[in-house]
Chains A and B, each alone.
Chain A
Amino acid sequence: MAENDKQNTNVVAERSLAVERLRSWSANAIEEVIEFRGETTIVVPRKVLLAIAERCREQENLNFNLLTDATCLDRFPLEPRFELNYHLVSIPRRDKLRIRVRLAGDDPVVDSLVPVWPGANWLEREIFDLFGIRFTGHPDLRRILLPDDWEGYPLRKDFPVEGYRDIPAIATRYTRNRP
């Protein structure tokens, strides 16, 4: 167990090193650093996301070459309601990092990371499909899992679990007649 703890502290030191390296590049690029259960999250403003992602991938001593996952979280009715989480892995450095961007419900638009990691393509399409976040600069922003004519974004918290009805045309009638 003691050995495990030692390993953990090493990992944490290494991770905060990554955060320090990003800080030394730009002092106000990182809004907040969250440490929870040994996972490091950096919260960045929307306008620097693309720049910081490029930095994470290109800079020699960061080298986050694999974008393993991107997902969204809806904190409705809190504002800013959307949280985008990008999970990065550096295979050569055996390191992980999470980049988080907070987005307001009335303006869910963010830069696409496809220019940095081409693998972000389908991940962002899935987020667009299920949450309605728009990615500027995405080469092919279409729905991916749901039919093209689907109405609404089912993983938003204000979308009922049982849905409205199977057929979108009925859904509008159904909501209008609701008391």
Chain B
Amino acid sequence: MSTFASTTTVETATGAAKTMVLNMGPQHPSTHGVLRILLELDGEVVVRAVPDLGYLHTGIEKSCEDKTYSQAITLTDRIDYLNPLGNNLVYCLAVEKLLGIDVPKRAQYIRVLLVELQRISSHLVWLGTHAIDLGAMSVFLYCFREREEILKIFEFVTGQRMMTSYIRIGGLALEPPPGWLQRVEKFVNMMPSRIDEYESLLTGNRIWIGRTKDIGYISAEDAIALSMTGPTLRAAGVAYDNRKLFPYSSYEEFDFEVPTRTDSDCFGRYMIRVSEMRESLKIVRQAMSKIPSDGPIRTEAPGIVPPEREKMKTEMEALIYHFKIFTEGFSPPPGETFVTVESPRGELGAFVASDGSPKPLRVHFRSPSFINLQALPKLIEGRLIADVIACIGTIDIVLGEVDR
């Protein structure tokens, strides 16, 4: 890294002083993966910070260009491994928009329910790891206990705990098993008291407040200028939420609040995420009452959406379509679409371009972790090393999504 020399001289209040460059990461436990930061230090104060990324770059966007539209779904799971259903959703919405097909209401509601559960589970991982970074061990254990329940629901519904690939182009992969809503209901009834429990451990805790209050401040203007989105932007007082501003998948039919605060520090972001978990529970409850007990989970689009198994055994066309979808794929009309959804970390976007062939010309993911991480130097410059850890945690990065 040749960006700055190993020692430089800066002007401080007491005159010229030597600074030291410290390498943090990529194997540092508090970087939540393989993030490397070069810190230029004056004593214990960070003068300059330069993040260095790419340790987890796997070329997912290039790989997508070599797969058919349906095959690429499995790659989207692996971008943000705490939000696989959200990644499936944004990619499928983009391809569906490209094709111009609608999705049945039942599938839309199930999508909303699962994505909101995913948001809770992602916030739980965030809360647990952020707390453990700052020294509160027990919160981690409680958070992972509830996350486990959500993963069990995912396993029950989709067959997988993490890499679900459940949301498919035109609907869902398979009919949810009977009795799944009871399990969701059990979880939803149990969860509010558990969130109170986390709050009782942290919100009034003097150590927690000392480590997070007034740390990592960023103004709303700076946050927008740096393209920040998600809880970090909402903690700065901007109610920017794709679910409200540009609704997708029938979110306009749901009644929920977008929590905002004005303190814009680590504590504010913590409070925002906790409130978001409660709002997500509200959405899950509404989705449960909205989901019709039966109806199609996939749209009727011959040649694009695989036919039902029963039809394949009796109808010639269905068998032919099935064969063609899984051998050569389908060809959307030439054009480009860009769809954004609200992931737990912010605005998640998928840009899909077609040239009329069965493989995408270009797939690009607008990953909130990558873009929010850009503001990290702004948050930590001029603060102590100990605050660096709080600030990395507070913007909630997933390195898989940063590097793709």
Contacts and interface: CB of A to CB of B under 8 A. Distances in A.
A105 interface: no
B246 A65 contact: no
B304 interface: no
A118 B336 contact: no
A119 B57 contact: no
Contacts of A96: 246
Contacts of A91: 224, 238, 240, 245
A66 B224 contact: yes
B179 interface: no
A145 B365 CA distance: 14
Contacts of A87: 338, 349, 351, 366
Given A87-B349, A117-B225, A118-B226, A98 B62 contact: no
What's the dominant secondary structure at chain B's contact region?
mixed
A45 interface: no
Contacts of A53: none
Contacts of B98: 37
Interface size class on chain B is 35 or more
B48 interface: no
B59 interface: yes
A103 to B, nearest CB: 15
B245 A117 contact: no
B101 to A, nearest CB: 11
Contacts of B224: 65-66, 91
Interface in B63-93: 63, 65-66
B53 A119 contact: no
Interface in A71-126: 71, 73-75, 85, 87, 91, 94, 96, 98, 117-123, 126
B325 to A, nearest CB: 22
Contacts of B59: 154
B353 interface: yes
| Residue from A69, A126, A144, A159 with most neighbouring chain B CB atoms (10 Å) | A69
A143 B57 CA distance: 12
- Which of B228, B355, B366 counts the most A-chain CB atoms under 10 A from its CB? B366
Contacts of A144: 53-54
Nearest to B96: A37
Given A91-B224, A118-B225, A39 B338 contact: yes
A119 B225 contact: yes
Contact of A145 (B53, B66, B349): B53
Nearest to A36: B335
A143 to B, nearest CB: 8
A69 B349 contact: yes
Interface in A136-150: 140, 142-147
B61 interface: yes
Interface in B347-404: 347, 349, 351, 353, 355, 361-362, 364, 366, 370-371, 373-374, 403-404
Given A96-B246, A155-B62, A68 B340 contact: yes
Interface residues of A, number: 39
B97 to A, nearest CB: 5
B371 A119 contact: yes
A27 interface: no
Nearest to A127: B364
A151 to B, nearest CB: 15
A161 interface: yes
B19 interface: no
B351 A85 contact: yes
Interface string B33-74: 000000000000000000001100101011101100000000
B164 interface: no
Contacts of A119: 225-228, 371, 374
Contact of B347 (A68, A98, A145): A68
Given A69-B366, A87-B349, 15 more contacts: A37-B100, A39-B337, A65-B224, A69-B351, A71-B362, A73-B362, A85-B338, A91-B245, A118-B226, A119-B225, A122-B371, A122-B373, A144-B54, A145-B57, A145-B404
25 contacts: A37-B97, A37-B337, A39-B336, A39-B337, A41-B336, A67-B227, A68-B340, A68-B349, A73-B353, A75-B355, A91-B238, A91-B240, A98-B338, A118-B226, A119-B374, A122-B373, A130-B61, A143-B54, A145-B54, A154-B59, A154-B62, A155-B61, A155-B62, A159-B62, A161-B66
Give the top 10 A-B pairs by smallest Cβ distance, nearest first.
A119-B227, A69-B366, A145-B54, A71-B364, A145-B57, A36-B335, A119-B226, A161-B66, A122-B374, A73-B362
